[in-house]
């Protein structure tokens, strides 16, 4: 954008529901993966009682099948990937600012794949320290990091002058997500299903809120403080 422009309330809600809808596609994928997983391996993914020694299948009580963590990682990765790709497609339809769709999809895909490889050790470290059932904490971390990455892919490739505004927007989105998460913390199943939709929705809405607030500041005071070309103090007037 050439100068900060405020977004109407309808535009902010449109961005929010775009992210929300994309997130729900990911949550549905996660549900399908877990459902098929349960249908294939059944109760072996949860606590398994000790089998008789003469069968040679001795598994300690309350232990978790080794495949449990694998299917959690697979489900979370696919849900995040599908949600972020859907978000790129949808946001390009509702907002003309977001162009270069093929480039955005490519960066989103390969970036999420790279993040998966980096985060896999986190899953195993958490599972080893607190038990496989605590993989949900690693999954939440995975969702936040991947969604944040995909958010900045969208903004870096489409916004040059006001990326700092987008940083504030991401922070607002994280705060809104944390507040909503606290309200839903009493129901962990609902929180797990809504985490990805809320995160993508709040990132989009937070970015719109930050953009509107800054546009008001710019219009009211005439200071373009968050323009990436603006310099302060002894940096003012120096050649790049």
Q: What is the DSSP string of 153-203?
A: HHHHTT-SS-HHHHHHHHHHHHHHHHHHHHHHTT-HHHHHHHHHHHHHHHH
Number of domains in the chain: 1
Contact present, 88 and 99 (Cβ < 8 Å): no
Lowest mean pLDDT among 8-22, 124-138, 141-155, 197-211: 124-138
The highest-confidence range among 69-78, 117-126, 220-229, by mean pLDDT, is 117-126
Residue 61 domain flag: no
Residue 158 domain-assigned?
yes
pTM: 0.82
- What is the structure's pLDDT at 201? 94
Does 235 map to a domain? no
Q: Give pLDDT tens digits for 1-54.
A: 467 777 888 889 999 999 999 999 999 998 888 788 776 655 544 444 444 444
The residue range of the domain holding 146 is: 10-29+66-223
Q: Quick check: is 151 in a domain? A: yes
Residue 240 within any structural domain of the chain: no
């Amino acid at each position: 954008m050439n100068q900060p422009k405020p977004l109407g309330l309808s535009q902010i809600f449109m961005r929010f529901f775009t992210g929300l809808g994309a997130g729900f596609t990911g949550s549905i994928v996660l549900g399908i993966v877990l459902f098929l997983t349960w249908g294939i391996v059944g109760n072996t993914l949860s606590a398994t009682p000790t089998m008789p020694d003469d069968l040679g299948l001795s598994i300690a009580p309350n232990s978790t099948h080794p495949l449990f963590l694998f299917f959690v990682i697979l489900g979370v990765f696919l849900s995040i990937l599908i949600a972020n790709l859907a978000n790129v497609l949808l946001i390009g339809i509702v907002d003309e600012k977001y162009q270069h769709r093929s480039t955005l999809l490519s960066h989103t895909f390969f970036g999420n794949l790279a993040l998966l490889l980096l985060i896999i050790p986190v899953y195993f470290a958490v599972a080893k320290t607190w038990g496989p059932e605590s993989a949900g904490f690693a999954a939440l971390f995975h969702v936040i990091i991947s969604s944040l990455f995909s958010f900045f892919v969208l903004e870096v490739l489409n916004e040059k002058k006001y990326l700092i505004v987008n940083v504030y927007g991401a922070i607002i989105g994280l705060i809104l997500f944390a507040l909503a998460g606290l309200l839903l913390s009493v129901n962990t199943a609902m929180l797990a299903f809504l985490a990805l939709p809320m995160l993508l929705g709040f990132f989009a809405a937070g970015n719109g809120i930050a953009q509107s607030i800054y546009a008001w500041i710019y219009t009211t005071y005439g200071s373009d403080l968050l323009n990436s070309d603006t310099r302060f103090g002894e940096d003012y007037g120096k050649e790049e």
